[in-house]
Amino acid sequence: MVLVGVAVGGALALVAVLIPWLPSADAEEAGPVDQVYWFVTIICIVIFALVAGVSVYAVWKFRAAPDDEDDGSPIHGHTGLEVVWTAVPAALVTAISIYSGVVLVQIERIPPEHRVVEVTAQQFAWSFTYEENGTQITSGTLALPVDQPVELKLTARDVIHSFWVPEWRMKKDAVPGIETDIVVTPSKVGNFTVVCTELCGLGHATMRAQAVVLTQQGFEDWLREQRRLAEQAGSAQGATLFTQQCGTCHALADAGTTAEVGPNLDNVLPGKGADFIQESIVNPNAEITPGFQPDVMPGNFGEVLSQQQLDSLVEYLQEVAGQR
């Protein structure tokens, strides 16, 4: 019976390992995390096959005959068996905790040379702030150079969110009032998705951002472009801000955004003045567009954006509204 259990467990473990169930592993930290995952999963599969095998066998072998009304025969336990089924799980659980502890220390070690990006979560958007040569750059996209460790310092403005890029495996909560951090070393160039994995409100499912891993040269070009945009003034800055802060929810042809979480601004903006636009941004619940829910659009743009940024955004939207 034990042999059958182990054979079935072994076969299932092969199915688990040979089929690619997990997303590709595209950061240095992903390898050790996957090894812990499979270590635990294979132990679980073999133990499950064994326990299920014994249970099914016992149900079949020791079942009562239909006319058997007797009490079962008294049983006094089996000390040897009890020692085994206590000692084996204890050893396995200890092995799991030691192994995952070792991996945790390994992947959380902050290397001496690393870049820092501040990650801010709010209902329902991510923003990423870089401090490069004295200039502060904020972007709605997380761009990183390949093969370089980066420390992401996470915080939240309103409720608890959680940062996760499945292909990097690393995941941690972003909590209001404190700073948490993870270190990640992306190992593959490409586009990935940052997802929020902590149910954080009505728009939780839309709380996604793009993570772009670039070559060293590509990353430097990106930084230069961001610095240029940050130095722009007026409606040009407003256009950039719109793409970063609003484009994940609103469609606007001029900005090339197509999201449908909020109203299509090409339809609602024409004819609207600066006061209305400003009020809609700072105080979105003052008037709810028919067909949409309150409390989806973040209510704190008045604090998140500087007065100058707000002005340039309103100027830009007014310009777009006037064009049509």
**185/244 with CB nearer ligand HEC:** 244
Strand partners, 258: 251
Q: Does 321 bind Cu ion (CB under 5 A)?
A: no
- CB closer to Cu ion, 162 vs 237: 162
> Do the Cβ atoms of 244 and 140 come closer than 8 Å?
yes
* CA gap 96, 39 in Å, rounded: 8
Shortest CB 199 distance to ligand HEC, Å: 15
Which of the listed partners (ligand HEC, Cu ion, none) does 263 bind, with a CB threshold of 5 to 8 Å by partner kind?
A: ligand HEC
249 binds Cu ion (CB under 5 A): no
Q: Per rule CB under 5 A, is residue 246 in the interface with Cu ion?
A: no
Residues 6+ apart with CB under 8 A from 62: none
- The edge-to-edge listing of strands for the beta sheet with 115-122 is 135-139, 125-132, 115-122, 150-156, 180-184
Distance between CA atoms of residues 273 and 34, nearest Å: 54
The option from ligand HEC, Cu ion, none interacting with 200 (CB < 5 to 8 A, set by class) reads Cu ion
Measured torsion, CA atoms of residues 145, 151, 152, 154, in degrees rounded to the nearest 10:
-170
Judged by beta carbon distances under 5 to 8 A according to partner kind, the member of Cu ion, ligand HEC, none in contact with residue 261 is: ligand HEC
Decide if residue 200 touches Cu ion (CB under 5 A).
Answer: yes
Q: Does 207 engage in binding with Cu ion (CB under 5 A)?
A: yes
Pick one of Cu ion, ligand HEC, none as the site partner of residue 196 (Cβ within 5 to 8 A by kind).
Cu ion
Contacts with ligand HEC by CB under 6 A lie at 124-125, 203, 245-246, 248-250, 261-263, 268, 277, 280-281, 284-285, 288-289, 292, 294, 296-298, 301, 313
**Shortest distance, position 271 Cβ to ligand HEC, whole Å:** 10
Across the beta sheet with 161-164, the strand order is 142-145, 208-214, 190-196, 161-164, 171-174
DSSP code of 41? Answer: H
Specify the residue, 181 or 311, whose C-beta has the smaller distance to Cu ion. Answer: 181
Q: Does 107 bind Cu ion (CB under 5 A)?
A: no
Task: Return the number of the residue (17 or 202) whose C-beta is nearest ligand HEC.
Answer: 202
Cβ contacts of residue 138 below 8 Å, gap of 6+?
Answer: 127, 128, 129, 130, 230, 244
C-alpha–C-alpha distance, residues 176 and 255, integer Å: 31
Rule CB under 5 A: say whether 196 interacts with Cu ion: yes
C-beta of 153 vs 272, nearer to ligand HEC: 272
| Bond before 124 cis per omega within 30 degrees | yes
Question: Shortest distance, CB of residue 100 to Cu ion, whole angstroms?
Answer: 26
Residue ranges binding Cu ion (CB under 5 A): 161, 196, 200, 207
